[in-house]
Amino acid sequence: MPEQDPKGQPAVAAGPGQTLYYTVGQVAKMLGVSPRWLADRCRAEEVDHVYMARKRKFTPAQVEKVLKQYTVEGPDFEAERREQERIARRARARAAARRK
């Protein structure tokens, strides 16, 4: 049986085991957000989507892009450490210049 959105509409399949697009309801469920939130992002043109026949749809690549777009990565501790070392070197250089 093909995948269905919350209203019972099947997702369109591109071939055996491949989905051509997902509905807003399906993507919202996958992402753990409300369909209204996702539809609002679509209307505001904040996320890529397909708008055809007055329906908003998402390709698998667009779903991945939404995930990447809203992914927050943790801090880069190595870059932060290098920045702190750079600041400390500049402070030492300024202190040495004042002593001269």
Q: pLDDT by residue (tens digit) across 38-91? A: 999 999 999 999 999 999 999 999 999 999 999 888 777 888 889 999 999 999
Tokens standing for residue 68:
């990447």
Indicate if the pLDDT at residue 32 is higher than 90: yes
* Domains in the chain: boundaries: 13-71
Assign domain 13-71 to its CATH architecture: Orthogonal Bundle (1.10)
Query: Identity (one letter) of the amino acid at 69?
Result: Q
Three-state DSSP state, 4: strand
The model carries a pTM of 0.60
Region 13-22 average pLDDT:
76
DSSP 10-75: BPPEEETTEES-EEHHHHHHHHTS-HHHHHHHHHTT-S--EEETTEEEE-HHHHHHHHHHT--PPP
